[in-house]
Amino acid sequence: MSVSSGSAHIEPKRIAFQLLSFSRKVAFWATVFAVLYVLHFMAGLALN
């Protein structure tokens, strides 16, 4: 019984790569928003 890997077979390597790139994108934007928030907070303190 040999099962041929067709289009129904999902490659775990490809899924892991997509998850990795997605989490990297999320981490990048989280860092950007954190930096912007800190700068906004510090600007608010400096103005007061």
What is the per-residue pLDDT across 3-37, written as a single tens digit (0 to 9) for each? Answer: 555 556 778 899 999 999 999 999 999 999 999 99
- Which runs of E-coded beta strand occur in 1-48? none
Distance CA 48, CA 42 (A): 10
**In the chain, % of residues over pLDDT 70:** 79
For the chain, the straight-line distance linking the first and the last C-alpha, in angstroms and rounded, comes to 75
